[in-house]
């Protein structure tokens, strides 16, 4: 089936025809401002003035510009093109007024008016705002627009009675003119919400489509950021963790990153210039070809169209441990990287290299109870947990535009890395039956050397502005050699050593299409196939795994815009899974429903509610029967009999403007996979089995700008988790928060940030829990140098104890076995992070029209 899928993909790409980016419009009696906002053009206009004209049209146009000319035909407006922005300006009424006096050949001097237009909320200057001088009958006698600094200067030979200022996303303002020929000063415009049919654009340039929220990147958002991942931190609910160099969405790290609908690695986004990004989309519920992957959400970066240019980027992030107890670990992390991106009208290719080195030495204590024995670790001078990670990543790809609306691309990643862990304890063992004590040493060392290759080929196309198609084929290979050694010293000397090899081969095939039935209705359908094989073998010739899994999935979704206030997207995916663990095979069929509704309650409030179901699949380490000795009692072994599970996710998002959002969620996983403890013969094993999980959470995010330079951003999460297995129930709860205040002055090209991050979370197990993440305070200073080519960021994590949990705990309480392991993180406070980036880039957006002023001399046919 896989060769057939490859052939079909190439036939599809080969048979694709070249077509222009045509535009289809089907509207009935809708205001002109709403219709214009559907065009894929950057526009600036006075919303109130254009809303007075209603439009009815059912017609295809050669391109968006032709549609713009047709819509403005026979209307009192002219269009001027400034860079890539189409400014729609009312035509002036400069007819002579009889009251105007002329002395000979000398006319009275013209009147001059100037001022500055800014946002009432942020104080930012508004570019391309429309400024009109009106006579006593409110008829424009002179019109202009503001510069990039929000300034305007207009001259007229007539005495105006008032002035009107309008800008997309702001309330139109009228002011009477009392002093002629003067400075009108600073004029503030208030935010407003403008309904746009399928989208709603706010003053912060935020739009909410049927199943995702789009944030248009503004010049203010680009301040103080050096790459795409740092830019994502400007979005409400998204947090870029500098300590782990990863992106979180509402405190979830399992996030899929897309660029124009195609999956890309974090390596690529760490080198992508923020100047290339048009918007960022946030999707909380996955569907389509991603429905069977365990993603808590999707972050998509939408690139600017018609962009050509290059990026050369180098960076390095170094962690420096300033603690007195660092012990040969002064530089725990080092992340140098280098990359380039080159884009022409038809071609885009890129290449990156990244090296990651992490090293940690933690003090830890451990207590165990098994059968009649109790073990407690002694305090030792040297760290008990040592960790070393080295990783090399090479990433590259090329995209080719077969036509303006068709792309064929390929990309690949190769990773080679090694991980070494060492746990050393001096244990005191007590026989509870006779209180006999003795001491021994326990040392467990694991060495993993892994190679990973991923390659993909994709095609994207758009036909007649109605049909969008996507197809990809991917191949993934993973090979891992693992060495496990255990040494017990003392009276009973015991040694164990084994070598394992395991690998994974995986292919994926996706077809997906979306067809717009009308401007407010569309249908999507897709097919996916994923084949994977897991295998492992010990050097002793035992524990052989040969696991095969083949998934076939078909999906269909329907989207409907009922009104400006109500939107609905619903669908279903049908999935068939065949798995074989080397002994027995199993067929599983599932139905995965999906529904999403968006209701606009008020001009600033909205409600989104949704439910989705997706599948989760066992990982290699959960399936592999290889034995890994953990300590003197415990051995870990996989379970090749575990199967996939279904994750049910229900949520609501209540938005009070774009500043405050509340998101209650519930997640239920039926027959999820968790570690359990079982005794076989005389050994205690940590293995895996199917149990039920539930999680209830509430996310509260707040995002507020104060003036031009200061911004406050916070996300607070409360959670409660349950695990149920064999009529037993375990529960944990907690809360997390990341909150920071950011001050950045563009004239200084410098800023400072102060934040508190409570990121340590309890993760439930059937018989206990384990904690992950870190808590810390942070003070960060940033400075851009050499015309923003160099970015220097210095973060300091102070040794503040308030609100910081330094003990990372794993706790187990089972009838057979009890464990409490506490890892002390205080040795990493204080810490200093120095991140330096150097970027040489140049880019422009292609101008489809050479003239800055569009003259309607040749009007399109009706």
Q: What is the C-alpha to C-alpha distance for residues 288 and 471, in angstroms, rounded to an integer? A: 12
Does 858 reside within a domain? no
Does 851 reside within a domain? no
Look at phi and psi of residue 825 and say left if phi exceeds 0, alpha if psi is from -120 to 50, else beta.
alpha
Q: What is the C-alpha to C-alpha distance for residues 580 and 540, in angstroms, rounded to an integer? A: 24
Residue 28's pLDDT band (boundaries 50, 70, 90)?
Answer: low
Model pLDDT, residue 327: 66
pLDDT tens digits for range 516-545: 898 789 999 999 999 999 998 877 666 678
Last residue of a domain, one of 192, 210, 230: 192
Q: What angle do CA 419, 425, 430 make, to 5 degrees?
A: 145
Model pLDDT, residue 650: 95
From 71-75, 345-349, 677-681, the region with the lowest mean pLDDT:
71-75
Last residue of a domain, one of 280, 303, 326: 303
Does 605 score more than 70 pLDDT?
yes
Model pLDDT, residue 859: 38
Q: What is the C-alpha to C-alpha distance for residues 491 and 218, in angstroms, rounded to an integer? A: 69
241 and 93 share one domain: no
Q: What is the C-alpha to C-alpha distance for residues 463 and 529, in angstroms, rounded to an integer? A: 25
Domain boundaries, position 799: 307-845
142 and 242 share one domain: no
Residue 860's pLDDT band (boundaries 50, 70, 90)?
Answer: very low
What residues contact residue 676 under an 8 Å CB cut-off, 6+ apart?
686, 687, 688, 689, 691, 725, 766, 767
Helix, strand, coil shares of the chain, percent, nearest 5, are: 5, 65, 30
pLDDT tens digits for range 699-750: 999 999 888 899 999 999 999 999 998 888 999 999 999 999 999 999 899 9
- Of 339, 305, 389, 149, the closest CA to residue 228 belongs to 339
251 and 357 share one domain: no
Residue 855's pLDDT band (boundaries 50, 70, 90)?
Answer: very low
CB 665 within 8 A of CB 649: yes
240 and 352 share one domain: no
CB 170 within 8 A of CB 189: yes
From 52-56, 216-220, 547-551, the region with the lowest mean pLDDT:
52-56
Does 11 reside within a domain? no
CATH number of the domain to which 220 belongs: 2.170.130.10
798 and 787 share one domain: yes
Does 14 reside within a domain? no
Residues paired with 569 in a beta bridge: 559, 596
Q: Which stretches of 332-488 are DSSP H helices?
A: none
Q: What is the C-alpha to C-alpha distance for residues 635 and 185, in angstroms, rounded to an integer? A: 76
pLDDT tens digits for range 198-216: 333 333 444 445 567 888 8
Does 728 reside within a domain? yes
67 and 133 share one domain: yes
Model pLDDT, residue 785: 96
Model pLDDT, residue 93: 53
Last residue of a domain, one of 192, 217, 232: 192
Does 15 reside within a domain? no
Q: How many domains does the chain have?
A: 3
State the average pLDDT for the chain.
85
What average pLDDT score do residues 754-772 get?
95
Q: Is the dihedral of CA 34, 35, 37, 42 positive or negative?
A: negative
Does 853 reside within a domain? no
220 and 128 share one domain: no
Q: What is the C-alpha to C-alpha distance for residues 567 and 596, in angstroms, rounded to an integer? A: 8
What residues contact residue 787 under an 8 Å CB cut-off, 6+ apart?
none
Model pLDDT, residue 2: 47
From 187-196, 596-605, 715-724, the region with the lowest mean pLDDT:
187-196
CATH number of the domain to which 704 belongs: 2.40.170.20
164 and 230 share one domain: no
Does 259 reside within a domain? yes
CATH number of the domain to which 129 belongs: 2.60.40.10
Q: What angle do CA 300, 306, 311 make, to 5 degrees?
A: 70
Phi and psi torsions of 629, nearest 5°? -75, 125
Model pLDDT, residue 126: 85
160 and 276 share one domain: no
272 and 360 share one domain: no
Model pLDDT, residue 324: 79
Model pLDDT, residue 569: 94
DSSP code, position 815: S
Please write down the HEC assignment for all residues of 657-711: CCCEEEEEEEEEEEEEEEEEEEEECCEEEEEEEEEEEEEEEEEEEEEEEECCCEE
133 and 245 share one domain: no
In terms of average pLDDT, the best of 124-128, 133-137, 448-452 is: 448-452
510 and 654 share one domain: yes
């Amino acid at each position: 089936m896989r060769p057939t899928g490859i052939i079909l993909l190439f036939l599809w790409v080969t048979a694709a025809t070249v077509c222009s980016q045509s535009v289809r419009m089907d509207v009935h009696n809708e205001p002109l401002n709403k219709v214009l906002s559907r065009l894929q053009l950057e526009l600036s206009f006075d919303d109130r003035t254009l809303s007075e004209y209603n439009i009815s049209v059912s017609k295809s146009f050669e391109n968006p510009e032709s549609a713009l000319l047709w819509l403005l035909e026979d209307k009192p407006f002219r269009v001027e093109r400034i860079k890539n922005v189409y400014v729609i300006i009312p035509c002036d009424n400069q007819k002579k007024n009889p009251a105007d006096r002329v002395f000979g050949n000398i006319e009275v001097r013209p009147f001059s008016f100037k001022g500055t237009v800014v946002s009432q909320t942020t104080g930012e200057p508004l570019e391309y705002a429309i400024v009109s001088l009106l006579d006593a009958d409110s008829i424009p006698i002179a019109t202009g627009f503001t510069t990039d600094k929000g300034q305007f200067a207009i001259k007229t030979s007539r005495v105006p009675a008032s002035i009107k200022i309008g800008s997309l996303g702001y309330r139109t303002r009228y002011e009477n003119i009392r002093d002629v020929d003067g400075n009108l000063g600073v004029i503030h415009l208030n935010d407003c919400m403008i309904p746009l049919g399928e989208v709603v654009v706010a003053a912060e340039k935020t739009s909410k489509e049927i199943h995702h929220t789009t944030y248009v990147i503004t010049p203010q958002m680009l301040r103080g950021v050096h790459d795409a991942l740092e830019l994502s931190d400007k979005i409400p609910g998204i947090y870029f963790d500098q300590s782990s160099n990863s992106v979180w969405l509402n405190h979830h790290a399992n996030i899929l990153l897309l660029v124009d609908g195609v999956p890309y690695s974090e390596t690529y986004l760490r080198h992508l210039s923020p100047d290339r990004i048009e918007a960022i989309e946030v999707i909380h519920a996955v569907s389509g070809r991603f429905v069977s992957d365990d993603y808590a959400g999707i972050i998509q970066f939408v690139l600017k169209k018609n962009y050509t240019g290059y990026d050369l980027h180098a960076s390095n992030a170094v962690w420096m441990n300033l603690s007195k107890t660092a012990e040969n670990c002064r530089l725990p992390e080092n992340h140098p990287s280098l990359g380039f991106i080159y884009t022409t009208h038809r071609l885009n290719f890129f290449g990156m290299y990244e090296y990651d080195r992490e090293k940690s030495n933690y003090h830890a204590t451990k207590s165990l109870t098994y059968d009649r024995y109790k073990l407690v670790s002694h305090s030792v001078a040297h760290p008990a947990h040592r960790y070393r990670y080295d990783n090399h990543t090479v990433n590259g790809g090329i995209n080719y535009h077969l036509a303006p609306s068709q792309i064929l691309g390929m990309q690949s990643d190769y990773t080679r890395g090694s991980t070494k862990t060492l746990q050393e304890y001096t244990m005191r063992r007590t026989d509870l039956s006779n209180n006999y004590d003795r001491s021994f040493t326990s040392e467990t060392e694991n060495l993993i050397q892994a190679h990973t290759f991923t390659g993909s080929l994709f095609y994207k196309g758009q036909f007649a502005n109605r049909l969008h198609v996507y197809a990809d084929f991917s191949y993934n290979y993973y090979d891992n050699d693992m060495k496990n050694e255990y040494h017990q010293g003392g009276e009973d000397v015991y040694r164990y050593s084994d070598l394992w090899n395991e690998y994974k081969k995986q292919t994926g095939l996706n077809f997906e299409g979306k067809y717009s039935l009308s401007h407010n209705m569309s249908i999507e359908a897709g097919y996916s196939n994923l084949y994977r094989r897991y295998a492992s073998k010990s050097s002793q010739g035992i524990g052989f795994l040969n696991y095969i899994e083949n998934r076939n999935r078909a999906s269909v979704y329907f989207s409907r815009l009922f009104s400006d206030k109500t939107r609905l997207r619903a669908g279903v995916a049908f999935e068939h899974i065949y798995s074989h663990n080397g002994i027995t095979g199993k067929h599983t069929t599932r139905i995965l429903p999906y529904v999403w509704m968006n209701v606009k309650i008020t001009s600033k409030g909205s409600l989104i509610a949704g439910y989705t179901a997706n599948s989760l699949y066992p990982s290699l380490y959960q399936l592999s029967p290889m034995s890994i000795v953990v300590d003197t009692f415990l051995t870990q072994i996989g379970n090749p009999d575990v199967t996939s599970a279904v994750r049910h996710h229900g949520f609501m998002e209540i938005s009070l403007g774009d500043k405050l959002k509340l998101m209650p969620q519930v997640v239920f996983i039926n027959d999820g996979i968790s570690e359990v403890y079982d005794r076989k013969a005389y050994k205690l094993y940590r293995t895996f089995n199917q149990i039920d999980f539930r999680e209830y959470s509430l996310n509260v995010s707040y995002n507020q700008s104060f003036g031009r330079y200061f911004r406050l951003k916070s996300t607070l999460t409360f959670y409660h988790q349950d695990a149920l297995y064999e009529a037993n129930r375990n529960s944990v709860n907690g809360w997390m928060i990341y909150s920071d205040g950011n001050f950045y002055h563009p004239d200084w090209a410098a800023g400072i940030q102060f934040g508190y991050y409570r990121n340590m979370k309890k993760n439930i197990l059937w018989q206990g829990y384990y904690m992950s993440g870190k808590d810390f305070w942070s003070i960060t200073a940033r400075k851009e140098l050499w015309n923003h080519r160099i970015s220097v960021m210095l973060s300091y994590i102070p040794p503040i104890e308030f609100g910081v949990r330094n003990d990372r705990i794993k706790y187990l309480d089972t009838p057979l076995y009890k464990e409490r392991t506490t890892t002390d993180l205080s040795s990493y406070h204080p810490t200093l992070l120095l991140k330096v980036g150097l970027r040489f880039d140049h880019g422009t957006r292609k101008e489809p029209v050479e003239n800055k002023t569009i003259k309607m001399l040749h009007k399109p046919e009706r």
